[in-house]
Amino acid sequence: MQKIKAAVCHEFNAPLVIEELELRAPDMNEVEVEIEAVAVCHSDISFQQGGFGGPLPAVYGHEAAGTVTAVGDAVQGIAVGDSVCVTLINACGHCTTCQSGKPTICETPRDNLAQSPLRTADGTPVAQAMAAGAFAEKVVVDHSQICVIPDDVGKDVASLISCGVITGVGAAVFAAELQVGQDVVVIGAGGVGLNAIQGARIAGARRIVAVDVLEDKLQVARDFGATDTVLAEGKPWAEVKKILGRGADAVLVTVGVAEVYDKAPRYLAWGGRVIMVGMPHGDKVSSYSPLIMADAGQGIVGSKMGNMVIKRDIPWIVDMYRQGRLKLDELISGRWTLDQINEAIEDTKSGAARRNVIMMK
């Protein structure tokens, strides 16, 4: 066991507490990483608010990057000193979905409390939320959650790739299966939404319409590739259909608000699909008219982490960034210390931030 500092949640809707925890060594298939940067994702906030449930005490944080400091005896392709992205994609590699090339929806359950490498000083288990627990100086995670990246990619930028970037870009490229010349609506111009816009641009969309409640965020959306913007007031779907001449082939909902999902089908063209990216709290529901959607040949598709295969697709993302074809530095709104994590969370809640990054060193 070694001692590390971490931001611990002891009570939902309460500030995180910085305290010293004990971290066990990696087992055969695990990797120990010294975290250098971890971004604040809205999923972390939903967990802190109790919207996704889960045991307490817990350490959140899942959008991280750092340097490998130890590896288990069975780990291959990852070595001490490697720069890496740390993700929440814990994949067994042998279930039906993993063998079908869909590791983001691995069917093998993981108990994030019983299997957690974290303990308090008195031996009480601390949940490793989302199998990552990266609001901490170090993590021990399964090798499947790690992707090696070039040393010259900044860890602040690399942390964004671990969730927000792959989730947004992948939702457009893989989950929506966009075809060249199709029209796209992205609802929400936050961190994930901006990456969905970039993904739609990369996929060759004809028009990319960003919809948000804040004018400032719509201007940023244009910088990331939106061809048109619509303020989310009144009946924005009517304005979108005027711009496109019809509805959208794909509507990517990147905000975790159930009421937005209620209205998302109204933006669709015949044969279009809603891509579910943002995740509302577990007690929230949405409603649709199955008759209207079935008659129009429309559909609703779930997208978890952009349907990415991280060891295949993160190197692609990194290369696009290094070529200047993908904006990443511009996604960072602010840099904070671990001691400032509660302030960073509150700033994220305001809705104005693209991504706040906690810098560990």
In a domain, 88, yes or no: yes
Q: What is the DSSP letter of 172?
A: I
Q: Which CATH number do you get for residue 72?
A: 3.90.180.10
Report pLDDT digits (tens) over 80-96.
Answer: 999 999 999 999 999 99
Tokens of 42: 């809205």
- Average pLDDT of 38-51? 95
* Residue 322 dihedral angles phi and psi, to the nearest 5°: -65, -25
Tell me if 228 is assigned to some domain: yes
Answer yes or no: do 27 and 65 share one domain.
yes
Q: What is the mean pLDDT of the chain?
A: 96
How much is the average pLDDT of 134-145? 98
Answer whether 0.85 is exceeded by the pTM. Answer: yes
Task: Please report, for residues 104, 290, 344, the alpha-carbon distance to residue 287 in angstroms, rounded to integers and kept in the order given.
Answer: 26, 9, 34
| Residue range 141-162: mean pLDDT, rounded | 98
Phi (first) and psi of residue 200, to 5 degrees: -65, -35
Please give the structure tokens belonging to residue 341.
């994590």
**Phi and psi at residue 333, in whole multiples of 5°?**
-85, -35
pLDDT beyond 90 at 351: no
C-beta separation of 254 from 261 below 8 A = no
Domains identified in the chain, total number? 2
Last residue of a domain, one of 268, 302, 336: 302
Closest to 165 (Cα-Cα) out of 276, 46, 305: 305
- Are the C-beta atoms of 221 and 250 separated by less than 8 Å? no
DSSP secondary structure letters along 264-321 = GGGGEEEEEEEEE-S---TT------HHHHHHTT-EEEE-SGGG--HHHHHHHHHHHH
| Mean pLDDT score, 264-277 | 97
Give the domain range for residue 74.
Answer: 2-164+307-359
26 lies in the same domain as 95:
yes
How is residue 273 written in tokens?
């699909």
pLDDT band at 350 (very low <50, low <70, confident <90, very high): confident
- 145 occurs within a structural domain: yes
* pLDDT-above-90 percentage for the chain: 97
